[in-house]
Amino acid sequence: MIVITPNKCDFCGACVAVCPVDCIDLKEADISIRHDVCIDCDLCANICPIEVLEPIYDEK
Ligand code: SF4
Ligand code: SF4
């Protein structure tokens, strides 16, 4: 899943534009991800210019 680093995002919207399932909610000064919808493609983490979003992989 994708973890959001609190207070780092500058709300540029790049991740929202790239998400194929539209599960990133960006409102004024708040960003959240609906993890039940996210497909873990990591596109958002790759496009974020300031590394706010970090993919975390379950070790099983
Ligand atoms: S990992 Fe993919 S599906 Fe999940 S929030 Fe990022 S862009 Fe959207
Ligand atoms: S791409 Fe990064 S800085 Fe831009 S809105 Fe998304 S998380 Fe925030």
Any idea where the domains of the chain sit in the sequence? Answer: 2-55
pLDDT category of residue 60 using cuts at 50, 70 and 90: low
pLDDT category of residue 56 using cuts at 50, 70 and 90: very high
DSSP assigned state of 5: P
CA of 14 to the centre of ligand 2 (A): 6
Q: Is 2 in the pocket of ligand 2 (CB under 6 A)?
A: no
Mapped onto helix, strand or coil, the DSSP state of residue 45 is helix
Terminal C-alpha separation, the chain: 14
Of the options 3.40.50.2000, 3.40.250.10, 3.40.50.970, 3.30.70.20, the CATH number for the domain spanning 2-55:
3.30.70.20
Asked if 25 and 31 touch (Cβ cutoff 8 Å), the reply is yes
Task: Name which residue sits closest to atom 3 of ligand 2, judged by CA.
Answer: 9
Asked if 20 and 49 touch (Cβ cutoff 8 Å), the reply is no
CA of 43 to the centre of ligand 1 (A): 6
pTM over 0.85, yes/no: yes
Asked if 45 and 2 touch (Cβ cutoff 8 Å), the reply is yes
User: Could you report the per-residue pLDDT of 12-34, keeping only the tens digit for each?
Assistant: 999 999 999 999 999 988 999 99
